[in-house]
Amino acid sequence: MLFIAFLLRTINLTTHPYPWSGDEASIGIEGRRILNGEITNFFDTGWSIQPNWSFVPTAITEMILGENILAVRLTSVLAGTLSVLFVYLIARLLFNPSIALMAAAFLATLPYNVHFSRIGVNNVIDGLISSLLFWSIAKALQKDDARYYYTAGIMGGFCIYTYAGTRLALIIGVIIFLFVIIRQRGYLSSHWKHLFAFFCGLVISMAPQAAFFARHPAIFIGRLGQEGIFFNGWLAQRVAQTGQSELDILINQFTRTTMVFIASPAPGNFFNSPQPYLTIIGSIIFLLGMGYSLVKMLETKHFILIVWFWAVVLFGGVLTVNPPANTRLLMTSPAVSIFMALGIFKVIEYLQRFRLLPERAVALIFLAVVSIISYQNINFYMGEYRTNMYFTNIYFENANGEFAMEVGLLANDIGEGYMIYILGEPRILSSFPTIPFLIPENQRADFNAETLAALTLTPDQKVAFFAIPENRPLLEEISQKFPGGQRGLIYRKPRPAEILLEYYILAP
């Protein structure tokens, strides 16, 4: 199962999804800064106010594979693959091996998890950290041993060292313990030492990074302040713009967030799928599993699943701007996979109870359902999604990501020592993260009509000019002033008839 998960996340990794985004390049640059020794305080924050420790895995893969697209994306591949392992472990611990295997299979092929496991942003770590933390908590509750509580606390502390959304996993973990305290009479008096061990592990684990955030609270709540509709004034503005009540707007937010799992497309936000997260069959068994857990919600194992899913839906979707935000809902993918496995398992169990299904057919039905859903998932993501370049659709009206990636690749192909001029004003500059990441050794500068008037070249200089379509007339002037170079056109992959860029290369 892990091999299949890894394979789906690595096939043609550098070319799909296309293009390589500026956010991925920014994370790659942070990894480079670690390797170059520019980052010395790992308890500070870097790009997008993410803790510097979150860039360490990328630095490690860059150290091994080089500073390239593959290295940056491989970090997400490993996180996504490991999340399959921990989904299996927690589902086996909470339920049984059959449910665990099916849940692992569903997560291994779930399109929105596979997708974020293939792009070099940190969001997919949500699924891994949440699975790891809740498995540790469930293990502690089962073993009733202070050492396991301490370990769970250590795992909880990791939540503040990575992507901001992962901190929700720690809140959910605390909610789980509060539920157990309320649900089990005498638990607090008999297990206070265990809970203290959890608290100690948590404090020790998170203390260095927490100390930084305590000194810079604005950084800690930065993303919440930007995206939370109660913090950034979005809800009040929406009421004023639409004339709707706050309740009507919140209902709309709820509908848009929940329907993306079973009925609505998942637009924009690094995914841009025209289909919901789940197939029709997947949606049915997901709802059956969810319904069963809601009925059994007072049991700890079902409460864990319910709060895992709905807390993310609420705080990562309903209460944030522009739902459904695929990046913020990614933490639901492990819980969704377990719900699906639970749903089909209970259907088969009920059929057996009423003697409507022979024992020898059970394994075959499990295999058939998993195979059908997995095939549908793989066929969609590696087939239709890739062929139609739905990810690229996000950039149809703004081809900056494509332009920057192709410039970087072309600049690498022509060799070292070239001065790179970008004729991209006003929409893209030479500082766009993808360009300095892919060609860090080349000198780069933005180019315009004023630059042309002042530019002089010697016969031994290596110069390459890259122009967006709007600036091709300026490139024509360059070729007239400095004749003898090589010109060429690059067309957009999603729109082969549309020019992406024109280049002009002057070799010595």
pLDDT tens for 241-299 read: 999 999 999 999 999 999 999 999 999 889 999 999 999 999 999 999 999 999 999 99
The one-letter amino acid code at 436 reads: P
| Nearest C-alpha neighbor of 116 from the set 91, 85, 81 | 81
Contact (Cβ atoms closer than 8 angstroms) between residue 382 and residue 11 = yes
> What is the full per-residue pLDDT of the chain (508 aa) written as tens digits?
999 999 999 999 999 999 999 999 999 999 999 999 999 999 999 999 999 999 999 999 999 999 999 999 999 999 999 999 999 999 999 999 999 999 999 999 999 999 999 999 999 999 999 999 999 999 999 999 999 999 999 999 999 999 888 999 999 999 999 999 999 999 999 999 999 999 999 999 999 999 999 999 988 887 777 788 888 888 999 999 999 999 999 999 999 999 999 999 999 889 999 999 999 999 999 999 999 999 999 999 999 999 999 999 999 999 999 899 899 999 999 999 999 999 999 999 999 888 888 888 899 999 999 999 999 999 999 999 999 999 988 776 679 999 999 999 999 999 889 999 999 999 999 999 999 999 999 999 999 999 999 999 988 899 999 999 999 999 999 999 999 999 999 999 988 999 999 999 999 8
Please tell me the number of Cα atoms within 13 Å of 293 on its side-chain side: 29
Exposed/middle/buried for 397, CB within 10 Å: 0-12, 13-18, 19+? Answer: exposed
pLDDT of residue 459: 87
pLDDT of residue 253: 96
Query: What is the C-alpha radius of gyration for the chain, rounded to an integer number of angstroms?
Result: 26
Give me the phi and psi of 493, to 5 degrees please: -65, -40
Contact by Cβ (8 Å): 171, 307:
no
User: What pLDDT score was predicted for residue 428?
Assistant: 95
Q: How much is the pLDDT for 232?
A: 82
Pairwise CA distance, residues 117 & 109, whole Å = 11
CA distance 373 to 370: 5
Q: What is the pLDDT of residue 12?
A: 96
pTM exceeds 0.85, yes or no = yes
Beta-bridge partner residues of 491:
499
Measure the CA angle with vertex 327, ends 167 and 117; round to 5°.
100
In a 13 Å sphere around the CA of 405, the CA atoms on its Cβ side amount to 24
Output the pLDDT for position 218: 87
In the DSSP assignment, the letter for residue 233 is S
* Burial class of residue 503 in the structure, from the number of CB atoms within 10 Å of its CB (0-12 exposed, 13-18 middle, 19+ buried): buried
**What is the Cα–Cα distance from 217 to 214, expressed in whole angstroms?**
6
Residue 64, Cβ neighbours under 10 Å: how many?
Answer: 9
Give the relative orientation of helices 300-313 and 280-295 as an angle to the nearest 10 degrees.
120
| Residue among 362, 376, 368 nearest 282 (CA) | 376
